[in-house]
Structure 1
Amino acid sequence: MNAVEIEEAISALAEHAFDSAEFPYAFLQAFGNKETTIRRLRSGASNKSDLDGVLQNNNIHIAVSLPGEVTKTLTALKASPATTRAKARFILATDGTDFEAEDLETGETVACPYRDFPDHFGFFLPLAGITTVKQVRDSSFDIRATSRLNRLYRTLLEENPEWDAADRRPDMNHFMARLIFCFFAEDTDIFNGSRLFTATIEQMSARDSSNTHEVIGELFRAMNTKIEGRPAANLPRWASVFPYVNGGLFSGSMDVPRFSRIARSYLLHIGNLDWTKINPDIFGSMIQAVADDEERGALGMHYTSVPNILKVLNPLFLDDLRERLQQAGDNPRMLLNLRKRMSKIRVFDPACGSGNFLVIAYKEMRKIEVEINRRRGEPGRRTEIPLTNFRGIELRDFPAEIARLALIIAEYQCDVLYRGQKEALAEFLPLDAENWITCGNALRLDWLSICPPTGTGVKHHAEDLFHTPLDQAQIDFENEGGETYICGNPPYLGSTWQSDEQKSDLRLIFESLTSNWKSLDYVAGWFMKAAEYGTRATAVAAFVATNSICQGQQVPILWPLIFSTGHDIAFAHTSFKWSNLASYNAGVTVVIVCIGRTPTIRQLFSISDDGEQVAQSVSNINAYLVSGPNIVVQDRRLPPAGRHEIEAGGKPVDGGNLLLSCQEKDQLCGCSPTASRYLKRVFGANEHNKGIVRYTLWFNDADEEVIQRDEFLRKRIDGVRTMRLASTKPATVESAKRPHRFQEIKQTGLEVVTLVPTLTSEKRQFIPAGLEPAGTIITNLSFAQFDGPIADLAILNSRMHFIWVATVCGKFKTDYRYSNKLGWNTFPIPTLTEKNKADLTRCAEDILLAREAHFPATIADLYDPDDMPADLRDAHERNDEVLERIYIGRRFRNDTERLEKLFDLYTKMTAASGKPTKARKAAV
């Protein structure tokens, strides 16, 4: 469950009559506990409470108290030996009237009336595995409001199916945007009366909801009618008290969907929330999820934390503004110059969604501006930072509307905070008619028309403010001479998941630049557009992106094109989880990359082992987000001369007829008198890592006569032939002529094998390569070196090799993906003396012996970073020390130093072999 679903379930629980016997179980169910878990607790099988309550190990101890004894019961829960034994994090006591709880880990407490405990749902989110608790608590109102809006939205669409059609959905979304504004306006005195909107609907619409849509329609019509035009508009008296708003928000169709009694009730409940607590930088993305069919299934997962957004905005330009503020001190002239500079800064998000980045940028700049005004003795001064300087492009119409609405709300809240309620209200209505969020395809629009260097453009009709056409090309306001900062979190989408239209978008950008563009992630289009924009305007761009664009095959495709435009990487944040509000803090692994043409300071950010952000100033950042020259590692078909080759194992393509489990092997041997002579152990990555035992039938061509005489062997080989003949691939059909052999054969079956798993968990610190005896068969699900030197096994198991592979080979989901052409054939190894080889051989043998000492523990068991045996860890430490002393005469201090050395050696290695080390210029 996600945070919004949990809030909805908790609220429903509080609304029902209190049931002392059922409450603990219903509470746990609301946080996602499965029915089987609840059954075990009910039966006592897993409930070890010593206070006649419900105790869930590692989570919570709940007890229902006698009336008036909630505090006493909570004290007893805290003192309970069972609470301690179960390592419960939370204790909770309630009598259905009062509610108290404590987080035993942090010492924080909750005490409130029972009916109000849903207000504190964020306190308990660790019960659902959601760890972004502080951010959730900070935005708990937004989650509650989103939950209720989602209920209303779903109900209205169910009751008005015609509004769910594609041609009416924009009307429905626009209706929701109007409601959001009205809820906010009535709680912030914009409507000159507390709850005026909600109270009017409650009073003027019938309880059976038969005219609710008509009442709302009249209110919207009033807000679309100027004061001087109202006598002719024939508005009802109760609607005429509402101010003129428009700005495009209330223009166009006044249609309102019909309301049932339930929908009317939902509407009134939403209006009774305290909308002064709305957080526009968070709320927008949640509202977007309400209205988007694809995203509603992931409701609540689109929250992006402010700290994550600031990882982009701070080094992009906010840190510089704060530094200038510090340098200015109380100097009036320097402060004035800084304020003028800020008034011309444009922040441009070409994938703005519901405006999170723009809102955060606006609010942070207002904080700096108010400090300037304070130091200059001008408190309460009207802002000089126009909303029109915060520009965006968004493909879908509703998020574009919400983005503009979120900025309007942010401006009003800042004015109230920094200038006072009276001044904010005086200037808020009517809404301005300028439009700064363009609805369209960012990869097809001309960014220069949206943020032109001179700020000139074609005027856009005011009344269509909240209905920006898809073909809008220009903006109608100026900002001569200002800086432009491009930022955002564009859609990632690897090549496999791109739609035909998205592939067409990339084709338009890249087809004339590279023939390999089909392998690029969708986000690469934004980087290329930003680089092209930067050749014609003064701008710096920083985007959140999947880390795959800085790894593996995409680096030599994308980054030479970026560098050829004169851009370098100004700052970057190495891989981290871009988290959301899903259970277990699910999130994609991302990087942040900033490109600019003349960066004066280059900074490389990373996350330390204790979770803190670390910044390093460097002379250059290359495409792998490593300090060093702009080298692009190109794959090599073969390793350098003198080095043993590593290649993928053989490809069975057998339809399950050649490969056998232990049980299948035993069954076959029990039936066939000759099968055991042709069985060999087979290994792929799973067999190696998890200790799975499997076998393969391994024949030579000379064995065909034996196969024909053995009925059971013949059936299996016939099965291979049938499967291959049914294939649509010519190579597979051709291999049906030799069905007793693997389709691709890489070995005789007599070699000693050094096995390298195809995938390695991101949690590991090494690639756990292994050694298998002669007679072992390796499938294409792992890599192998046949009859290679044992010293190579030491290198493959080293931290040096692991960090190289992690950097240049890329990932599959979150696992490191090995590549012989990129990982082994390009890996720089110093010339090894015979003593070096002997030392490394001994290190490899020590690692193998340490593994063997823990039999039957598997590789997966042994290389769990939290539970790695001390002797195995020590063997790896010795291996790393021996190898690293070969490189530089001492241990490396960290992975950054390792990579810097490896890239230096790679430069020399490729230069010596005549291969270019720098990306060639490409025409743009």
Structure 2
Amino acid sequence: MFGITRRRVASFERRVDGLSSASGRGRIDLLWPGTFMAEHKSKGRDLGEATVQALEYVDALEAHERPRWVALSDFERVRLHEVATGEAQEFSLSELPQRVEHFAFLIGRQLRHQVPSDPVNVKAAQEMARLHDLLEKSGYQGHDLELLLVRMLFLLFGDDTGLWDESGLFYDVLADHTRSDGEDLGATLARLFQTLDTPRERRQAGLPAWLAAFPYVNGELFRERLDLAEFSPEMRQMLLDASALDWGAVSPAIFGSMFQAVMDPEERRNLGAHYTSEENILKALGPLFLDDLQARRKAARGDRRRLQAFLDYLPTLRFLDPACGSGNFLLVGYRELRWLELGALVELLALEGRSAGGQVLLDISYRLRVSVEQFYGIEYDEFPSQIARVALWLADHQMNVEASRLLGQNFVNLPLTQAAHIRHGDALEVDWAEHLSLAQDAPNLGALFVMGNPPFIGSYLMSPEQKRQMLALFAGNKEAGVLDYVAAWYLKSAQLLRHLDKTGPHLRAAASLVSTNSITQGEQVPPLWTELLENSENVITAAHQTFAWTNEAPGRAAVHCVIIQLEPAGRAPAQRRLFSYASPKGLPTEHAAQRISPYLIEGPEIIVRKQREPLVPGVPPLVYGNKPVDGGHLIFHSQAELDGFLAAEPGAAKFIKRMLDAQDFLRGQTRWCLWLVGATPAELQKLPRVMERVRKVKEAREGSKSPIIQRFAEIPSLFTQRPHVDTTYWSAPRKLDGQD
């Protein structure tokens, strides 16, 4: 592997005397004097014990012959021991391609990554976010900062996964070719970016060897020229520390976590971005397409014709995430598709090899046909759209490394010629069919799957522009004003499915979206599900009932979600799949269902319509109760709090009322409130403590994200909703802790 002829430097079976054994002598399997010793033991032998024996050989040698490194193997595991430090690396033989850099001393290179090789995790994402924050604080902001971070992510990954001919090239640039104070780091990165964007044949003859060693990347990732970033010593060290981690073990989850960690919290709330964990992604992708593909793969085992048909089918699939964020749904989907392809191809090649007498000519670039170009995304924010594009390149390379390992032929997809179709734009303003190029590609499609986790923004928290979009999409639907923002993605998905059902009858099409459970409850059901089921002619073919949101990102969303899968009614499977949970944080139990209602229970697609008048004459209407929306400033949560307030301001006693909400009713609690209906300005001016609370209510409402709540800041002494009349009530608690 290192181009060294053994006979030139080392000998086999070197005799050594002066040992503690009965004979006092032994033989070293291989010795390169002053550099390296190798010992092989029987399968299953304890390599720690064998190391002790090998080190006795080392001590018995003349000083100038003693090796610096000792390697031992039992033909299943390899143990590499550094004599001077006593440190050892042990790994399986199958891991040798990933660990080969530990033997760099054979060609006179010192191993740079001396720290333990920890997999990249959420903590690493937080460290990159910290670097982002330091650069931003220094004045390096906006598009340039975001693109710089994405490029550094690509370089960190490339160092540990064989993207370059030599591992650790980026680390070498940082450690050996930048000053410790970081002053020249920005300029050095700019030179590196320019090199990565220049084909080898067009590079200047005088380019330093440490830059010329990098390949041509292309793919537009390094094409744009960025303003130079000014790095501090701390920033440079943070980047060096990040380089010491094992980015080859990166999970798709890291990209979503990194994206959420660096986004501005205010922007994150406005966009409704909530990164989805891999566990939740697979809950959606399983019924959508993975379970079917795994069944097809299983049915093809041992059959060359069916295996080839399966491999021919995979490239005909298309996938769209119309709110892709940093691309987690696309990443996991692509990875799973590549694993299915790789497993089928390995089996097919084995069958072909047997029929051809063991000889199979293999061209990986020809036989591996699943491509990132089958994956489409739309993302409102530029930074996550950049992350998604690069993340899919990295996932592509990860799978090429696996293919190289399993198929025995190295395959690095550089320069980048294929890319996922990630569009930076507003999904509600984009023509999805046009983005998918359905008019041109329809004859070649086998199936189209829409998937994702659209923004979670309540109807009362939408901006005026978002409200305008909703009303335009649901034109003519008089009840659409109550819908949450996510409903727009359901509608556009349903309309796309209907379009495909009418124009491509051979094509399977389905959509599976994660969302809050609010769209399956109460007043949102009629306006949304009338559109999805009746007007767009779809049915629910799979669904997860309410479960607790889980992810690994900092500041994770505390919400309860559902997953709903739609398909055209005319081609939906007869058997539907319904997943229920004994508790929101528990594991799902699957049930077979003939039909699934919009309320995610088994049964017909009946929609409970809004009824303004009681069905029985003379019965009073059921109305929403008094609603404070006061930031807690009109409410007294305990008897002690109330007593203290009245002791300081006894004149407020006439305005104190007992308050009862769902939690009070169900838990037997007692609270009170300031009920200032009918209070005159003159009365209030005599109550400074009351007025202080009123002032705080005004501030809380003015700071609300909801334009409607902001308007109530004009009447801060009153609850926002006051249907109260002095009579006897029948009370119906609406919710408690998110559960009906």
TM-score, normalization: structure 2?
0.68
8 Å Cα contact 1:575/1:606 also seen in 2: yes
Task: Give the structure 2 partner of residue 688 of structure 1.
Answer: 665
CA distance in 2, matches of 1:224, 1:679: 71
Question: Is 1:393 aligned to 2:378, yes or no?
Answer: yes
Question: Is 1:339 aligned to 2:324, yes or no?
Answer: no
Task: Give the structure 2 partner of residue 866 of structure 1.
Answer: none
SS of the equivalent of 1:485 reads: strand
CA distance in 2, matches of 1:422, 1:684: 65
SS of the equivalent of 2:499 reads: coil
CA distance in 2, matches of 1:534, 1:486: 9
Work out which of the residue numbers 404, 411, 425 in structure 2 matches 1:419. 404
The 3 A distance-change label for structure 1 pair 423 and 451 is farther
CA distance in 2, matches of 1:340, 1:494: 43
8 Å Cα contact 1:195/1:272 also seen in 2: no
Work out which of the residue numbers 547, 550, 556 in structure 1 matches 2:520. 550
8 Å Cα contact 2:199/2:216 also seen in 1: yes
Work out which of the residue numbers 176, 181, 195 in structure 2 matches 1:208. 181
Work out which of the residue numbers 488, 500, 505 in structure 1 matches 2:469. 505
Task: Give the structure 2 partner of residue 531 of structure 1.
Answer: 494
Task: Give the structure 1 partner of residue 590 of structure 2.
Answer: 615
8 Å Cα contact 2:635/2:671 also seen in 1: no
The 3 A distance-change label for structure 1 pair 318 and 657 is closer
Residues 246-302 of structure 1, C-alpha deviations (whole Å, 9 max, x = no match): 2111102054312222222222111122221112x112112313442237999xx96
Question: Is 1:590 aligned to 2:558, yes or no?
Answer: no
CA distance in 1, matches of 2:123, 2:400: 25
Task: Give the structure 1 partner of residue 131 of structure 2.
Answer: 152
Task: Give the structure 2 partner of residue 236 of structure 1.
Answer: 208
The 3 A distance-change label for structure 1 pair 694 and 207 is closer
Work out which of the residue numbers 219, 226, 237 in structure 2 matches 1:247. 219
What does residue range 182-197 of structure 1 map to in structure 2 within 5 Å?
A: 182-197=155-170
Question: Per-residue deviation at 1:641?
Answer: 2.6
What does residue range 294-373 of structure 1 map to in structure 2 within 5 Å?
A: 294=265, 304-373=276-345
CA distance in 1, matches of 2:636, 2:213: 82
CA distance in 2, matches of 1:228, 1:695: 79
Question: Per-residue deviation at 1:219?
Answer: 1.4
CA distance in 2, matches of 1:241, 1:663: 71
CA distance in 2, matches of 1:420, 1:652: 63
Task: Give the structure 1 partner of residue 483 of structure 2.
Answer: 520
Residues 73-128 of structure 1, C-alpha deviations (whole Å, 9 max, x = no match): xxxxxxxxxxxxxxxxxxxxxxxxxxxxxxxxxxxxxxxx9x9xxxxxxxxxxxxx
Question: Per-residue deviation at 1:421?
Answer: 8.8
Task: Give the structure 2 partner of residue 487 of structure 1.
Answer: 451
Question: Per-residue deviation at 1:521?
Answer: 0.9
The 3 A distance-change label for structure 1 pair 639 and 439 is same
Residues 721-774 of structure 1, C-alpha deviations (whole Å, 9 max, x = no match): xx9xx9999xx9xx9xxx9xx9755454xx6x65433x4424xxxxxxxxxxxx
Q: Which amino acid aligns with 1:447?
A: W
Q: Which amino acid aligns with 2:561?
A: V
CA distance in 1, matches of 2:170, 2:646: 78
Please identify, of 575-584 and 141-150, the stretch whose mean Cα deviation from structure 2 is larger.
575-584
CA distance in 1, matches of 2:479, 2:218: 49
The 3 A distance-change label for structure 1 pair 274 and 329 is closer
Question: Per-residue deviation at 1:662?
Answer: 9.0
Question: Per-residue deviation at 1:316?
Answer: 0.3
Question: Per-residue deviation at 1:411?
Answer: 1.5
Q: Which amino acid aligns with 1:557?
A: P
8 Å Cα contact 1:649/1:746 also seen in 2: no
CA distance in 2, matches of 1:663, 1:267: 52
SS of the equivalent of 1:569 reads: strand
Work out which of the residue numbers 422, 426, 431 in structure 2 matches 1:441. 426
The 3 A distance-change label for structure 1 pair 643 and 665 is farther
Question: Per-residue deviation at 1:222?
Answer: 1.1
The 3 A distance-change label for structure 1 pair 147 and 621 is same
SS of the equivalent of 2:219 reads: coil
Question: Per-residue deviation at 1:378?
Answer: 4.8
Work out which of the residue numbers 579, 602, 606 in structure 2 matches 1:631. 606
CA distance in 2, matches of 1:275, 1:141: 6
CA distance in 1, matches of 2:129, 2:635: 52
Question: Per-residue deviation at 1:586?
Answer: 5.7
CA distance in 2, matches of 1:225, 1:666: 74
SS of the equivalent of 1:544 reads: strand
The 3 A distance-change label for structure 1 pair 682 and 185 is closer
8 Å Cα contact 1:650/1:746 also seen in 2: no
Residues 660-694 of structure 1, C-alpha deviations (whole Å, 9 max, x = no match): 9699799999x99xx99x99977554553454557
Task: Give the structure 1 partner of residue 415 of structure 2.
Answer: 430
8 Å Cα contact 1:662/1:695 also seen in 2: no
Q: Which amino acid aligns with 2:207?
A: L
The 3 A distance-change label for structure 1 pair 665 and 171 is closer
What does residue range 799-814 of structure 1 map to in structure 2 within 5 Å?
A: 814=738
CA distance in 2, matches of 1:259, 1:376: 52
The 3 A distance-change label for structure 1 pair 248 and 423 is farther
SS of the equivalent of 1:231 reads: coil
Question: Per-residue deviation at 1:193?
Answer: 1.4
SS of the equivalent of 2:279 reads: helix
8 Å Cα contact 1:569/1:596 also seen in 2: yes
In structure 1, stretches of 5+ residues that fail to align are: 1-112, 116-137, 457-477, 702-710, 763-813, 817-924
Task: Give the structure 2 partner of residue 788 of structure 1.
Answer: none
Residues 390-411 of structure 1, C-alpha deviations (whole Å, 9 max, x = no match): 1111112221121121111111
Q: Which amino acid aligns with 2:612?
A: R
The 3 A distance-change label for structure 1 pair 687 and 524 is closer
8 Å Cα contact 1:182/1:197 also seen in 2: yes
CA distance in 2, matches of 1:278, 1:263: 22
8 Å Cα contact 1:221/1:254 also seen in 2: no
| Percent of aligned positions that are identical | 31
Q: Quote the RMSD (CA, aligned, Å).
A: 4.5
CA distance in 2, matches of 1:505, 1:222: 44
Work out which of the residue numbers 256, 273, 296 in structure 1 matches 2:228. 256
Task: Give the structure 2 partner of residue 581 of structure 1.
Answer: 552
Q: Which amino acid aligns with 2:588?
A: Q
The 3 A distance-change label for structure 1 pair 211 and 595 is same
8 Å Cα contact 2:397/2:412 also seen in 1: no
CA distance in 1, matches of 2:293, 2:578: 19
8 Å Cα contact 2:260/2:275 also seen in 1: no
SS of the equivalent of 2:579 reads: strand
SS of the equivalent of 1:286 reads: helix
Q: Which amino acid aligns with 1:403?
A: A
Question: Per-residue deviation at 1:201?
Answer: 2.7
SS of the equivalent of 2:332 reads: helix
